[in-house]
Amino acid sequence: MSIDTSLLDRRTFLKLSLGAAAASVTGAAPSVFAQGNPRTLRIGNQKGYLNLLKGRGTLEKRLAPLNVSVSWTEFAAGPVQLEALNVGSIDFGDVGEAPPIFAQAAGAPLAYVAATVTRPQSEAVLVPPQSTIRSVADLKGKRIALNKGSNVHYFLVKLLQQHGLQYSDVKLVFLAPADARAAFERASIDAWVIWDPFFAAAEKTFGARVLADASGVVGNRAFYFSSQRYAADNPDVIRILIEELDKVDQWGKQNRDQLASELAQLWGVPKPVVDVVVRRQQFGTQPITHAILGEQQRIADTFLELGLIPKSIDVLKAAPPNLA
């Protein structure tokens, strides 16, 4: 499994990304926008890489010659960002694997425009340090907490299948991360399926033991999204935005201690916890491909089987305008 995006890949991505799609989508090259009418880019950001990009101000400098102004709105989670996209309040945001599935099922006009590399070590099934559970097979009949319809929900389904267990073999307790953490601390659940930084905090604070992470089970990647209309009408803006995000990502790879310090301040989490998060994180931004959307389709089909979405969806309908 490739975990880093090479310089050549990034250059290829930036060359062939949405900026290059303008001729086929709008009938003109991206450069025609440079002296055109004023445009806006409304970004919905969570506390993460988009926040770091906002703090640097480099995006605004890159977009100023194109007469593009940038506004930022902070959201607590990906689903809320996608709701904002659906009602036309933002043009761009970042999100995990699961929320776009629900958004597309609800009719949101989203377009996947880029993805991170896979980060399977950043989510895991945790058990208390004194637990007698030693293998995935030992989860049979146990109470397992997770956030319903999230990335880790899909991870658990696939993990159980991989180890010969049925979804019905475990007792799921659907809890948001804060509530699950409390239940884990009280030992009112047997296991917790969670992602970073909650994962790292449980390790450092409670001595939680990793039963299994997502390595070899699911990819666990994040996505950058826009609306179909904005991506088609503003390919140059999207291209520059992804380029600047990748620069932040590559900076983080080379400056992990400083990255951990900045993220610790953003998240309000002790730096030793964030050090763990950053240490196991993989870095890199990728173009959207048929293979990546195939991964999303498998998640969508699984959620349909579980009754989590009301109808089947075709993930390809959320492909970017330039999908090869």
CATH of the domain at 44: 3.40.190.10
Mean pLDDT, residues 31-51: 77
Instruction: Give the pLDDT of residue 35.
Output: 52
- Are 246 and 285 spatial neighbours (Cβ–Cβ below 8 Å)? yes
Q: Is residue 1 part of a domain?
A: no
Give the closest residue to 285 by CA, choosing from 224, 214, 225. 224
Using a pLDDT cut of 70, give the percent of the chain over it.
89
Clarify whether residues 167 and 131 are in a common domain.
yes
Residue 297: domain span: 7-119+221-318
The pLDDT of residue 313 is above 80: yes
Clarify whether residues 175 and 130 are in a common domain.
yes
**Of 18-27, 260-269, 271-280, 306-315, the least confident:** 18-27
Clarify whether residues 305 and 235 are in a common domain.
yes
Distance of CA 281 to the CA centre of its chain: 13
Amino acid at 35: Q
Instruction: Give the pLDDT of residue 209.
Output: 97
Instruction: Give the pLDDT of residue 26.
Output: 36
Which residue stretches of 38-114 are H helix?
49-56, 58-63, 78-86, 98-105
Q: Give residue for tokens 């319903």.
A: 148
Clarify whether residues 140 and 188 are in a common domain.
yes
Mean pLDDT, residues 17-33: 38
Helix (H, G, I), strand (E, B) or coil at 229: helix
Give the closest residue to 211 by CA, choosing from 131, 273, 277, 266. 131
Instruction: Give the pLDDT of residue 36.
Output: 63
**Of 5-14, 210-219, 221-230, 259-268, the least confident:** 5-14
Q: Is residue 323 part of a domain?
A: no
Q: pLDDT tens digit string along 66-94?
A: 999 999 998 877 788 888 998 999 999 99
Residues contacting residue 138 through CB under 8 Å, at least 6 positions apart:
132
Give the closest residue to 151 by CA, choosing from 189, 190, 120. 120
Q: Give residue for tokens 């900045």.
A: 262
Q: pLDDT tens digit string along 142-163?
A: 999 998 888 899 999 999 999 9
Please tell me the total number of residues recorded for the chain in this structure. Answer: 324
Q: pLDDT tens digit string along 175-203?
A: 999 999 999 999 999 999 999 999 999 99
Q: How far is CA 119 from CA 50, 78, 191, 223, 267, in A?
A: 18, 17, 21, 12, 19
Q: Write down the mean pLDDT value for the chain.
A: 87
Q: Which helix (H) or strand (E) holds 94?
A: strand 92-95
Tokens of 135: 């293998």
Instruction: Give the pLDDT of residue 34.
Output: 46
Instruction: Give the pLDDT of residue 31.
Output: 40
Q: How far is CA 109 from CA 104, 223, 239, 265, in A?
A: 7, 15, 19, 34
The pLDDT of residue 33 is above 70: no
- Are 93 and 51 spatial neighbours (Cβ–Cβ below 8 Å)? no
What band does 324 get if pLDDT is binned at 50, 70 and 90? low
Instruction: Give the pLDDT of residue 149.
Output: 84
Mean pLDDT, residues 216-233: 94
Clarify whether residues 236 and 104 are in a common domain.
yes
Instruction: Give the pLDDT of residue 322.
Output: 80
Clarify whether residues 107 and 235 are in a common domain.
yes
Mean pLDDT, residues 93-113: 92
Helix (H, G, I), strand (E, B) or coil at 124: strand
Cis bond upstream, residue 109 (ω within 30): no
Total domains in the fold of the chain:
2
Which residues are registered as beta bridge partners of 192? Answer: 126, 145
Instruction: Give the pLDDT of residue 254.
Output: 96
